[in-house]
Amino acid sequence: MLAAWIRTKYPHIVDGAIAGSAPVFWFQNANITQDIFAKIVTRTFKTSGCNVKTIVAAFDAIDELSKSDQGRNFLNQVFVLDKKSQIEKIEDSKFLKDFISETMKSMAMIDYPYPANFLTPLPVNLKEKMFGY
């Protein structure tokens, strides 16, 4: 919102502004659907060569594995889950899927067409730099 407001209030000083995240749903007549962010994240992974069907199948596999003790033990071992975070019942798998999902969203958000350095050095995404998507 600050990017939009400064641009509106001081158009003679600010030529442009980039909003990293803004409450765009607050604006009337904004033709933006609720699932737009998910669509953008999915597009980012698709254009990077990921098979979206495989990712969906992986989330389905977590659901299936969480239905049995053996499957839950497997998930706890594969993901090296801390004792306090281990999957002990079917419902616990939601936390694991949410964590993976949030990680993937973060990866999509820092998929810059230039190198960056916050938290850790991040390389340039050459596909986006070369093809503009």
If asked whether residues 55 and 113 sit together in one domain, one would say yes
If asked whether residues 66 and 124 sit together in one domain, one would say yes
Closest CA to 104 of 44, 24, 26: 44
Helices (H) and strands (E) in the chain, counts: 6, 2
Domain residues for the domain of 86 are 35-131
- Render pLDDT for 15-56 as a digit per residue (tens, 0 to 9): 887 777 666 556 666 677 778 888 889 998 898 888 999 999
If asked whether residues 121 and 65 sit together in one domain, one would say yes
- Render pLDDT for 88-117 as a digit per residue (tens, 0 to 9): 999 999 999 999 999 999 888 877 777 778
pTM of the model: 0.68
With beta carbons less than 8 A apart as the criterion, state whether 47 and 127 touch.
yes
Instruction: Count structural domains, the chain.
Output: 2
